[in-house]
Structure 1
């Protein structure tokens, strides 16, 4: 039992590092634009490439974890991630930013990120899957709450290159030693059991999942959720600065968003074990839309309460989308190939996120405003909920067809 909860702690730490590092791009984004004079769309393109690369690496991470176990996958990811961050401190041109952030760092993030840990925890906690994932995903909130304001403080004091070097060293320390401690030997291959709520016993293969309409419906929902999220979070600090807030104040408020996401992930993970997962996902997206509305109403720095409202409401939903959808996918696509299936499923994060982060910059460059981008983000939230509610009927129809 103790080791099981140590694995939750390990996932908490790794997801805190990986999600927090991605969130820090919003502060480095402003620093890059100020230093090099790149356009917002071109600079945001580095994050788009990161999201695409991380997404493409997820099937590899899932298959690698299924085949050789979590130890090797996580160690490799920690090493690659630290190297990527360290070399990002040396960039002087856009192509270098794309290479070190968009390719190398992204590959490391994929290997230590959600796919290996969701597979591990779904195996260890089949009956309390939502709760375990909620506790683990809360690490992402801690990472955002700590790393975003910390990165801004480091940039303000010593500059963005030193900030990246500090992140590289910290990442190596936080990621690699715990893997050596909790995975001293290569474990057996992962096999994820389906909980009683699904009524399923079959062992899904990757080919069966990819031929399933249910898989693609959930995939589409995750694309929309990720697209809407990146339309918001990539540009949130730039937007706050545009309306009159200081960069440090904006980063601090968005640190509050990370704190709120900690409670949101734990609560919605618990809720997903107590009510229908589809209903839990609906609540997640509902509070997210409330946050987006607050951001849309924010027009100048005299309305700081709206910025706080955005941080609280959007923060409560931040990260919970992925954990509820991951729990749904684990309920349905159980078996020894779940890691690989999950890897293909989470390609949706890369697709939606890449489009969202780039689209936000493109819309601003074209219109001089983020209003249309934020409206599209809210619509993405709403449509993703509809897709998730269609899923149970498709699962039942598919079961009758077998």
Structure 2
């Protein structure tokens, strides 16, 4: 007697079929994420990435995970001042790290503490660290002061990367600006915050899938050179581009950028046992959610959206629990017309739009 033939899709779980996503509200979050590795209480976590990643740091801080912060807020500094000067947003004052290329550059500089002459910008007699220009919004009085702060920052990052168990990195953009002679990439275009744009020296760069995969592979390798045990959790920011330098429609440019990042994150996760991908992007942008988690500006994410993402994250790791500590408003939330995302360099590009 012959055995019945098992069709290729016959033994797949419910989560594999679109009809369930369409018809069952609980399916939208249940079983969306199956972790490759478990997170446990008291694991030491670092965060970095684009503006949306600032929310991750807040929720990790308010859990029984340990958010490693090697540049903590000075005790007497007011919260609003601390945020403006880059304290408490991530695990160090590196500011927003929008691209994989930028994060790889940061790791390279950390391994051999370096200050690039091309990354020192000037404005009105003040000097700015071009690799984190928003962290000291008024700049430094002298170049030597800037260099001392930069070297101190990189030495603290050596301590950070050596002690963490998990690195959470949120990919935000593929577009960046590069200093052609050195290959240095910046978090914002020269001239937006400080410095001078020189078309003979500065070029627009839109990273490809191949570029991003290669950069992420190198990031994993670099992190393991600091700590062999480290695990990497990748996410993709659901926040659309404020503006694009491609000359294309911003929606088309956003779709390209996010598609590249999403594809690269999956590919790198598949390549490495110690790398996983968490689908926060899908929870905000997926068609079954009907855009419900965006503010009226159709760009920033609501508090409810951030809470939904983080609730799925915690539910996927039973040993990780939220504490009683208040996490506050989502950093991407609009409030009375004032966008907290103004701490992001990219958001400053809104000022260049024609009224």
TM-score, with structure 1 as normaliser? 0.25
Bigger radius of gyration among the two:
2
- Pick 1 or 2: higher relative contact order, CA cutoff 8 A, min separation 6: 1
Q: Which has the higher strand share?
A: 2
Q: Which has the higher helix share?
A: 1
TM-score, with structure 2 as normaliser? 0.28
